[in-house]
Each structure stands twice: as C-alpha cells, then as structure tokens.
Amino acid sequence: MTKRPHRRYSTEFKLQLAQSYLDGEGSLRTIAKKHGVGHSVLRIWVEKYERGELAEEVELQEKVRDYELTIARLERKVGQLTMELDLVKKTLAHRTPPPNGTPSIISGPSESASRGDAAS
C-alpha cells in the first residue's frame, strides 16, 4: 500500500466542501471524491464546521495576514529611516566644524558673547 503525501488545504476550500455537504449537494463520499479528498477528512471538516472551528481558522488567517502587512510596512519604514540616517551621517562627516566649536545635539551651539547691557 502506497502512502499519499500529506496535503494542506485552505480553510476556504474546507468551508466550501463542508457547506456543500450540509446543503445536501451529495454524500460525504461523492463530494470528497469529486474534489480529490478522503471522505473521512471531509467528515472531520464538517464536524469542525459545525463546532465553529473552521470560522476560527479564517479569523486566525486574517489576523496573520494583517500582521504580515504591518510587518512589511514597518520593515519599509526601517529601511527608509536607515537611508535617511546614513545620509545625515555622510553630510555631517563632510562638513567643517564652525569656528567657535562643534555644536552638540545635547547642548547646542556655544553661546555668543553679549554686546553690552541688555537694557541699553
């Protein structure tokens, strides 16, 4: 007896077949044979459908899809910010410091001398 390779089916496919059976479009065996799946597998899908587990799978797949889109968006943003940071570093490396000292990000430029009394 040869063993069939393990196949994965989409949740939409499982829902479609379970709904076909429950709508009376045929027996487990005829629907399963028509779509190339085992009738015992289809019976499991129908039971899961009746317990609401297939709907949970759909929700989980939608969440995963949303997370993947968010991750891709964040990865693009990280790439953009990395390029901007590299540009700033190159620009700063080629600048000559001002004559009164190098300004610091924390302290800013050095203060300038006051021209007399502020009240005058």
Give residue limits of the domains in the chain. Answer: 11-94
Residue type, 15: L
Tokens of 23: 């709508």
Tokens of 67: 């997370």
Would you state the pLDDT for residue 105? 61
User: C-alpha 68: how far from its chain's center?
Assistant: 1
pLDDT profile of the chain (120 residues), mean per 10 = 71 89 92 92 90 81 90 96 92 73 59 62
> What proportions of the chain, in percent to the nearest 5, are helix, strand and coil?
60, 0, 35
